[in-house]
Chain A
Amino acid sequence: MSTTDFGALVKDDRVHTALYKDGAIFDEEMERIFKNTWVWVGHESEVPSANTFKKSFVGNQPVIVTRDKAGVIRTLLNRCRHRAASVCEKKKGKQSVFVCPYHGWSYDIDGGLRKVPYADGYPEGLDREEFGLIRLRTETYQGMIFATFKQDIEPLVEFLGPARKWMDLFMKQGAGFGVKVLGEHRFRFPGNWKIQLENTTDAYHFPIVHKTFLDSLDAETENIFDVIGSGGWVEDLGHGHSVMVMIPDLIDLDDNLDAPIPDRFAELAEELREEGHDEAAVRRIVRAVGGTGFNLNLFPNVACSMAFFRVLRPVGVAETEIQHVAIGMGDAKETPSPAGNRARLRLHEHFQGPMGFGTPDDAEGWERVQRGARAGDDLWIMLNRGSAAPEGRPQPGHNAGDASSEVGMRAAYQQWKRMMTA
C-alpha cells in the first residue's frame, strides 16, 4: 500500500499534476476507486435476449456481461477458474456456454461451472459450486448496466442520486420507443483517464477546440451550439457526478412538441411520414434525433452526452481507451424508425469517432495535456473557473456555476479525494 498523502494532491480549486503521471497513483486508483464503486459495463440493449453477452471492463479487469436464460443480467470475470485463461474473446454474441480453450472447463451463461474434463483426476472431488466464474454485483438503471467488486456497496439508485433525474431526461431521446445501442466508435489516446473525465462537463473548450465542427453546421444549428452564451449551467450532483446544460431548450424532449419542424429536418420528417408515423410521432422523433441539450458525467467512467454514451477505460497511467456508443430508437426486437436511426448514425459520424469533426481534436487536446504535464515537478492543474452560481436554474442546494465553469471537474476530484483517502 502506498503511503502517498492523496488528500494533499487535491485542493478545492486545483489538483496536482502528479495525478496524471504517477504510475503508483494509477495503481492505487484501480484498487481504491475502480474496485470500490459502481462502474458502467454496458447497456441492456447490448444483451437483448437470453444467452447473449458482451465483453467489457471494470477498471482494467476484463469481464463478460451476460443475460441468462431467466433474463438476469450478470457481470462475470473473464478468466477460467482453473488456470486463468480468458473464456471469451468475442466482442459480443449469443451462446449458452463458455468453454475454456486451454483445458476445456465449461461455464453456463450465468457463470456456473458446468463440466470439467476428466474430472476423476481430482481424487478428492471438485466442488463445482466453488469454481464458477467470479460474479460481480450488477444492477441497472434506465437500461444502463453497472457492476461492482464491492458486494456491500450502497444500491445503484442511491449512488446515482440526483443524477437519476438527468438519466430519465436523457432516455427521452428514444422518442417513446426506448433507447438502443446502434454501434460504437473505439479509440485510444496516450493520456490519463481523468483528462477525459474532465472533458465531458467542460463547455469552456467547446467553441475553441470544436471551431471546425461548428463551422461545418448550418447557421441555425451553429447558433444552437453557442454553448457558453445560451443560459446553460454546470451542476454538482454529488458522488462526483455532474451535469452541464448546454442547450436549455433541449433539456426535456417532451416539451415544445408543437413547435414548427426546423427546415433542416424537413426531409427527415417526410421520410418518417412515409414510414407510417403519425404527425405526433414525427414531431417527437424529429425533436429527439439530435439528442438532449446536456452532458451528464457519472463518476468514474461513463457519460450520457447529448446523443451518445461516452465510456472511458483506464489502461495505464498515460493510456486510456474511449468508446463513443451511438444510440438510437428501439429495443431488442424493434427498430421503430430506420430513417430516424440513420439520421442518428450520420450525426454521430459527423462529430464522433477517430475521424469525426470533433473527436480527433478532443483527443489531440488530451494528448497535449499529458505531454505538457511532463514539464515541472510541482505544478497544479487549475480548476478554479466560474465559482458564482447562476440564478434560478439548478436544483436549490446544489453547487453550480455558469456553463463554462469548472464545477463538474471540482465535483469529480472531490469524489476522487474521498475515495482515495477512505
Chain B
Amino acid sequence: MSTATLTRHAISLDDATRFIWAEADILDRLDYRAWLPLWTKDGRYTIPIEHDAVDYDNQLNVAHDDEEMRQARVKRLLSGFSMSAAPPARTVRTISRFVVTAAADDLIELRSAMVLVEYKYERTRVLAGDVEFRLKRDEGVIKLDRKVVRLANCDDYLHGIGYLL
C-alpha cells in the first residue's frame, strides 16, 4: 500500500478526537436524535459490569445495545414519560488521554479516559471510566462501530443513570 493511499483512507488521531468530542457534546446536550446516525449499522454500544469483561455477548452488562436497542433507548429517554430522564440530570463530560490501539484502512481504535459530572436534585455525582472506541469510515463518513464504556466502579453499586454515557 502506498503512503498516498494510506493517507487518503486512514482516520487520523485528529479526525478521531474531533469526532469523539463532537459525540460527547451531542450527549451532554441530550441531542440523542443526532447521536443515532453516528453509528454503523452493526455498531455495538456496551457498558460492561465486570472490569475485565471481553465476551460481552455471554456476560451481563449494564448495556449492550445493537441498533434496535439504541433506537429504543433514545425513544425512551426523549419520550418525556421516563421519571428518571424527565427532567434529565445535567451532565458535563470530558474525554481525553487518547491512545491509538489499532489502525488500518478506514478504521481506528482508541483508548481514552472519561470523567463525567452529573447534577440533579441538589446532588452532584462523578463517574469516571475508560472508553474504547472503534471508528470506521463508512462511504467516506467516520462512524462509531464500537464504544465500550468501562466505568471505574462498574462492578460496584451504581446509581440509576437516566442519560447516555
**Chain A residues in the interface with B (C-beta under 8 A):** 91, 182-189, 209, 211-213, 215-216, 321, 326, 338, 341-342, 345-346, 348-350, 353-355, 357, 359-365, 368, 371
Contacts and interface: CB of A to CB of B under 8 A. Distances in A.
A354 B72 contact: no
Interface residues of B, number: 32
Contact of A363 (B47, B61, B159): B159
Name the prevailing secondary structure of the A interface residues: helix
B84 A360 contact: yes
Contacts of B158: 185-188, 354
A215 B76 contact: yes
B73 interface: yes
B156 A186 contact: yes
Contacts of A183: 49-50, 59-60
A185 B60 contact: yes
A357 B75 CA distance: 11
Contacts of B159: 187-189, 354, 363
10 contacts: A186-B158, A187-B157, A209-B83, A212-B76, A215-B79, A354-B159, A355-B63, A357-B76, A364-B84, A364-B162
Given A91-B155, A353-B62, A354-B158, A185 B49 contact: yes
A359 B76 CA distance: 13
A189 B160 CA distance: 8
Interface in B71-94: 72-73, 75-76, 79, 81-85
Contacts of A187: 157-160
B5 interface: no
A186 B60 contact: no
B157 A357 contact: no
Given A354-B158, A363-B160, A349 B59 contact: no
B7 interface: no
Contacts of A363: 84, 159-160
A348 B50 CA distance: 16
Contacts of B49: 183-185, 353
A189 B84 CA distance: 12
A346 B160 contact: no
Given A209-B83, A350-B69, 14 more contacts: A184-B60, A185-B62, A185-B158, A187-B159, A187-B160, A188-B159, A189-B159, A212-B81, A216-B75, A345-B61, A355-B165, A360-B160, A362-B160, A365-B83
